[in-house]
Structure 1
Amino acid sequence: MMDQPRSHEPRNQTAAGRGREDKDPGSLNDMLDQLCEAGEDGGKVSVGDIWKTIGQRSFGPLLLVCGLVVITPIGGIPSVPTIFGVIVCLIAGQLLLGMSHFWLPGFILRIRTDKSRLTRSVEWSRPVARVVDRILKPRLTRLTTTPANRVIAAVCVALGLIMPPLEIVPMGAAVPSAAITIFGLALIAHDGLLAAIAFVVSLGGFWLVVSQLLL
């Protein structure tokens, strides 16, 4: 279960930005490789460790990680969808404000889980990643660059906000998380078609909130 150690200090935001000089992954499998490198084998891995591995300036990869974690088996841990929904809101909100260097509060960076659990979830995702990587390619790039990426950020803020209430719906948070994952992939690959698909999936998440929680 995700926990917050009392004595463990987070890897601070400045250090987090140095790990890979914010170099975006070239594919979904590259992203999974980066996740496997976060933290220490046999121990715990924190949000700060993942933050350091991915980099603070990489909007697409950060979105991808947040969405991907929730749709893997880790997403079944209580509070995980809420935690990553909050992270999505913070990161996407900062992009809306024009910031290129993203920030997260220390208490979120200290949240951690078992490295073995993260590794199992990554390996669970590998077959899907191989299929996805064959599909990705640059196209309709205007849908993934400014100002379109600000629209994506606004939608991701809304998706992050609906993730906590959807925790009470079985697998409910997986729908907005899937949209966030697809947005992340679209931004990394400059694939506007994929971004358009993510907008459609987002509508499914908003419909789920209305149908399951409001009606």
Structure 2
Amino acid sequence: MNQPLQNLEQLLDRVGELAHDNDEVSIGMVVESIGSRSFGPLLMLIGITLFSPLSGVPGMSFFMASFVLLIAVQMLIGRKQFWLPHYILDRSVEHGKLEKALGWLAKPARLIDRVLKPRLTFLVHNGASYGVAAVCVVIGLCMPFMELVPFSSSAAGLALLALGLSLVVHDGLLVLLALVVFGATFTLVVVNIL
């Protein structure tokens, strides 16, 4: 059984092993690799996807929004293991594209992991994790509108990555960072749409 992930580099390494061993990597393979009970790593995976060059794939924001909503709602209702439909689990990416995205993310991941540590833990422990899930629901509902403003889905990905990391490393400062990033992105989207 895989050990729980403790940082961003470990997540990238685990996904990288899948990319190395397979011609195509499906979301189902990644979820099985990181664990279907792991809300934080799943959020990190979504955030990385939206923040990487893979976000340029048409419809990726809408697809990832449905993924976020499914996971966050299940966390809010207290499910211990996440259920995801086959249309999400079967979606795959060619290993070359995945390895390129992972290579692009390796250096930032090392830098991020150096500054993370447990702090402001009241923002991520016990009932606060439901607050994180509620913020994820709001982000997921806003993401389809972000397709209208260039790079805004990447900012939403950064917020989701910060929320996922906050749950993995128990760093409440990341929750505050995610709220600031999402608030600024939401404001930018509203201003550009109106």
TM-score (norm 1): 0.86
2:58 corresponds to 1:78: yes
- Whether the 8 Å CA contact 1:37–1:53 is kept in 2: the answer is no
1:84 offset after TM fit, Å? 1.2
Give the Å deviation of 1:42: 5.5
Structure 1 CA distance, aligned partners of 2:161 and 2:188?
18
Report SS of the residue matched to 1:113: strand
In the TM superposition, residue 66 of structure 1 has moved relative to its aligned partner by: 0.5
Deviations 1:58-94 (A, max 9, x none): 1110000001111101111111221111101110111
2:121 partner amino acid: T
Structure 1: any 5+ residue segments left out of the alignment? 1-18
Match of 1:159 in 2: 139
Matched, 1:103 2:83: yes
Conserved? CA contact 2:50–2:156, under 8 Å: no
Q: 1:175 aligns with which of 121, 132, 155?
A: 155
Residue 17 of structure 2 is aligned to residue 37 of structure 1: yes
> 67-76 vs 192-201, which deviates more?
192-201
Instruction: Answer yes or no: is 1:64 the counterpart of 2:44.
Output: yes
CA distance in 2, matches of 1:193, 1:92: 20
- Within the candidate set 115, 125, 128, 1:135 is matched to 115
1:115 aligned to which of 82, 95, 101: 95
5 Å-filtered alignment, 1:194-213, equals: 194-213=174-193
C-alpha contact 1:156 1:180 (8 A) present in aligned 2? yes
Q: Are 1:27 and 2:27 counterparts?
A: no
1:39 shift after superposition: 5.2
Equivalent position SS for 2:93? strand
Task: Give 1:147's aligned residue.
Answer: 127
Q: Kindly state the Cα deviation for residue 40 of structure 1 after the two structures are TM-superposed.
A: 6.0
1:138–1:189 CA contact under 8 A, matched in 2: yes
Check whether the contact 1:39–1:49 (CA below 8 A) recurs between aligned residues. Answer: no
What is the CA-CA distance between 1:208 and the residue it aligns to?
A: 2.5
Check whether the contact 2:7–2:169 (CA below 8 A) recurs between aligned residues: yes
* Residue 68 of structure 2 corresponds to residue 88 of structure 1: yes
| Residue identity matched to 2:114 | R
In 1: Cα distance, 2:4 partner to 2:22 partner: 27
CA contact (8 A) 1:143 1:195 kept: yes
Q: Judge which range, 200-209 or 76-85, deviates more.
A: 200-209
- 1:12 maps to none
Matched, 1:50 2:30: yes
Contact 1:96 1:154 in 2 (8 A): yes
Give the counterpart letter for 2:138 in structure 1. A
How large is the Cα RMSD of the aligned pairs? 1.4
Say which structure, 1 or 2, has more relative contact order (CA 8 Å, 6+ apart). Answer: 2
Please state whether the residue corresponding to 2:6 is helix, strand or coil.
coil
